[in-house]
Amino acid sequence: MATEVKLPRLGQGMESGTIVKWLKGEGDAVKKREPLYELDTDKVTQEVEAEADGVLLKILIDSGEVDVGKTVAFIGAEGESLSDADAPESDRRGDEQTEETEEPAVEEEDEAETEGSSAPAMDDERRRGQEAAAATAAAASPNLDSGEARIKASPLARRLAREKGIEISELSGSGPEGRIVAEDVERFEIAAPAATPIAAAVGEVEEIQLTSTRKTIARRLTEAWQAPVFQLTISADMTRANELRERLVERLAEGETKPTVSDLLTKVAAAALVRHPAVNAHFTGESIRRFPVAHVGIAVAAPNGLVVPVLRDADRRTIQELAAARADVVTRARGGKLQRADLEDGTFTISNLGMYGIEQFVAVLNPPQAAILAVGATVETPVAREGGVVVRPLMSLTLTCDHRAIDGADGAEFLRTVKELLEEPALAL
């Protein structure tokens, strides 16, 4: 009997993933722990390993979004053919995959569902339909989409779907063995778009399907938007910080990463965070968690959208170490190679758009973190000093604070420390 390859849950809250590509083809020998396919989850793209030795008999889902727990392929013995018993039910959302042989049976299932009074007759009909489908399938072996067309759904899920006018066949199940449970109906209802047909517009409209990452960004930022926030802005004179950076670059050894203003800022912010733990905090809804170490997330524009890899223990690392760590995660973020662990446990986030010439902006919270720092470009600015006007490189810093966790004075003190440390970097030591 073949082993089902099911879409794994790679982290808490993961409900689905998108298969990017298969690293093995049908008929290839696979070993346990060997990479089998690439999976794009709401956080990262990673390789999923085979859980059994054998031959990749059949790939059910070549690419596209799949719910956790769904069977995506079969691994079995060389020469083994898949029996109907192995065939999973139709359980995938999205892309086409239902073979024609299955359709009659599915339709009858739907009728049986709605016309309870004629159920026994329909049962017979359905059975005959299924037998016919199975027979067709057997002829065209291996055909995994044939077989049992009964959709597994809990009674509660069926009732809710009936009440809400949702066809059970439209749903995909997250319960054991792909069973549709009440939560799936509720989630579908939320996700279902309002059915307002819009007249076709002239010209081409580009419709971009949301990736898992994009959906997560949308969901989390919508949540974050509901937090009561306030912003504080300050400007720092970057003269000394720039000097320090230049000195570090001069002393760079062969093969070392060139530190940037961002790295300096990470170091300075981390030092300020451990001095102001009120800002180095999570707001959980139940409590405020203040952290003794600063794990600083840095917002990176990756091809699939924003990701925030975390530089751990930033307060205890040198600028050079931070530069190397930053270069590593940025490279991997752009290549879609981040692991979940790279994205977890951040206590604070820095978003820097200075390289685009943005002078000042407001960042949206990265929950459950209680604050995020938006960094603008360093701009040569005329400044009044000792009765005269001098030109200084000023950088704007805007701190967004979750007011449920942080009061204005806490945020202001933190920001003042950041400014002082940037203007006198030696104090960060």
Footprint of other proteins on this chain (CB under 8 A)? 6, 9, 68-69, 154-159, 174-178, 181-182
- What b-and-e string marks burial along 340-373, b requiring 16 or more CB atoms within 10 Å of the CB? eebbeebbbbbbbbbeeeeebeebbbbbbbbbbb
φ, ψ for residue 408 (rounded to 5)? -55, -45
> Other C-beta atoms within 10 Å of 168: how many?
20
Establish whether 295 is a catalytic residue.
no
For other proteins, the closer CB: 6 or 334: 6
153 bridge partner residues: 180
Spatial CB neighbours of 289, under 8 Å, sequence gap ≥ 6: 281, 282, 368
Looking at 276-347, list the stretches that DSSP marks H as alpha helix, in order from N- to C-terminal side: 319-334
φ, ψ for residue 392 (rounded to 5)? -130, 150
- How far apart CA 42 and CA 217 sit, in angstroms, is 8
Q: β-strand 16-22 against 64-67: which pairing, if any?
A: antiparallel
Copy the structure tokens of residue 390.
Answer: 């001098």
For other proteins, the closer CB: 71 or 349: 71
Cα-Cα-Cα-Cα torsion 316, 319, 321, 325, nearest 10 degrees, comes to 100
Residue type, 246: E
391: closest CA among 265, 274, 238, 289?
238
95: closest CA among 219, 209, 213?
209
SS3 19: strand
Half-sphere exposure of 77 (CA within 13 A, CB side): 3
Token pair 């400007």 is found at: 235
Q: Measured from the CB of residue 212, what is the shortest distance to other proteins in angstroms?
A: 17
Residue type, 110: D
For other proteins, the closer CB: 155 or 228: 155
Contact 67/93 with Cβ under 8 angstroms? yes
For other proteins, the closer CB: 150 or 159: 159
- How far apart CA 259 and CA 320 sit, in angstroms, is 6
Copy the structure tokens of residue 323.
Answer: 């530069």
- How far apart CA 103 and CA 211 sit, in angstroms, is 29
Q: Measured from the CB of residue 87, what is the shortest distance to other proteins in angstroms?
A: 17
What residues are annotated to the active site?
403
